[in-house]
Homo-oligomer: A and B are copies of this chain.
Amino acid sequence: MNIGIIGYGYWGPNLVRNFSVTKDCSVKMVCDQRTERLNVVQKLYPSINVTQNKDELISNKDIDAVVIATPVSTHFPLAKQALLEKKHVLLEKPMTDSVKHAEELIDIANKNNLLLMVDHTFLYTGAIQKMKDLIFDGSIGNINYFDSTRINLGLFQSDINVIWDLATHDISILYHLIKEKPYSVQAIGISHTDNKIENIAYLTVHYSSKIIAHFNVSWASPVKIRQMLIGGDKKMIVFNDMEESEKVKIYDTGYEIKTDEDRRKILVDYRVGDVFVPKIDRKEALAGMASDFVKGILEKKEPISNWELGLDVVKVLEAAEESIKNKGKEIIL
């Protein structure tokens, strides 16, 4: 099975490197508008064809699947063209720049029985997989909250704001880890640049149950923080992605509420107990994503990061943007 990859910028090289060593597939062609980027491809992979013309890649008869690693705004037209050429499509996250576009792509893919998948790489990390196991086997208990901080001194994007850029990761993880679907979204953001694109934003996701999720994203932090807290009524998880050897910690710190008659006081019986740091599988996440895409095509296996999840993420992103424009108004999903 032959793959063509469009876009050899920041993420493209990782995709080429991983698909090059993925079982049952090979990278046939890479497309990028910048000749200097194509020269890099040729020096590293003399056997891969290169082109500046996307049509040459998309319409290539030997190519079975197209991987799109370009700016979000171009995802829709490129993916649509590829699907109409009967190619399977893998899109970089976020899937598209609007729900409408995502739904149109899904419709075409389904009609033509093609695989449409989104590269939410995080879902393939050992850390997230371990956290999913712990949550789904009941170890954590009922989830009370999800609190994520993803801040750093980032490249200010000119086409999307910090929520579309950074929160996308955390929202995909939220949908992956929590079965219940969110009820509504509220967001506040601010732009410190003259193009009015938010570089700092705070997103809150509400559930019909007692779960609350909060996301703190910023391109303007001097320190890089990648932290996620998940609180259950049995145990709590702290995921610190900046930690080399102890990314996931499980805290036996539940508390029990006992109330006496006069309701004057709540006694909290602390069980601040031991901490458990499970061993995390270190395999490269992107390799798992690549093989999931290939198996999705060759074995018709439902991928983990499927289009339903990709669409859910875009729905939250779109709602967040609307809420920001309305000063934090609650937007029902």
A279 touches B273 (CB 8 A): yes
A20 in contact with B43 given A186-B188, A200-B145 (CB within 8 Å):
yes
Q: Is A149 part of the binding interface, using a Cβ–Cβ cutoff of 8 Å?
A: yes
| Copies of this protein, total | 4
A253 touches B158 (CB 8 A): no
| Contact segment of A95-103, A211-219, A285-293 | A211-219
A275 in contact with B277 given A210-B192, A263-B195 (CB within 8 Å):
yes
A153 in contact with B210 given A21-B44, A220-B231, A277-B274 (CB within 8 Å):
no
A194 touches B278 (CB 8 A): no
| Contact segment of A6-14, A109-117, A238-246 | A238-246
In this complex, how many residues of chain A approach chain B with their Cβ under 8 Å: the count is 68
B327 touches A330 (CB 8 A): yes
| Contact segment of A54-62, A172-180, A222-230, A302-310 | A222-230
Contacts of A210 in B (CB 8 A): 190, 192
B229 touches A263 (CB 8 A): no
How far apart sit A90 and B5, CA to CA, in the bound complex (Å)? Answer: 37
A192 in contact with B144 given A44-B20, A202-B202, A231-B222 (CB within 8 Å):
yes
A202 touches B214 (CB 8 A): yes
B221 touches A259 (CB 8 A): no
Contacts of A253 in B (CB 8 A): 153, 222
| Contact segment of A29-37, A79-87, A118-126, A264-272 | A264-272
Q: Is A276 part of the binding interface, using a Cβ–Cβ cutoff of 8 Å?
A: yes
A195 touches B147 (CB 8 A): no
Q: Is A236 part of the binding interface, using a Cβ–Cβ cutoff of 8 Å?
A: yes
How far apart sit A301 and B272, CA to CA, in the bound complex (Å)? Answer: 33
How far apart sit A275 and B224, CA to CA, in the bound complex (Å)? Answer: 14
A190 CB to closest chain B CB (Å) equals: 5
Between A47, A192, A274, A330, the greatest number of chain B beta carbons within 10 A of the residue's beta carbon is seen for: A192
B279 touches A277 (CB 8 A): no
Q: Is A136 part of the binding interface, using a Cβ–Cβ cutoff of 8 Å?
A: no
Between A147, A193, A195, A242, the greatest number of chain B beta carbons within 10 A of the residue's beta carbon is seen for: A147
A47 touches B44 (CB 8 A): no
Smallest CB-CB separation from A270: which chain B residue? B153
Contacts of A249 in B (CB 8 A): 222, 277
Contacts of A43 in B (CB 8 A): 20-21
How far apart sit A271 and B178, CA to CA, in the bound complex (Å)? Answer: 32
User: Contact string, A180-209, partner B, CB cutoff 8 A, digits 1/0?
Assistant: 000000101010111101001010100000
Listed from nearest, the 3 A-B pairs whose CB atoms lie closest are A222-B251, A275-B277, A222-B236
Q: 17 pairs across A/B with beta carbons < 8 Å?
A: A21-B43, A144-B220, A153-B270, A155-B268, A156-B255, A156-B257, A158-B263, A193-B266, A202-B202, A202-B214, A220-B255, A221-B229, A222-B251, A222-B253, A224-B245, A272-B279, A328-B328
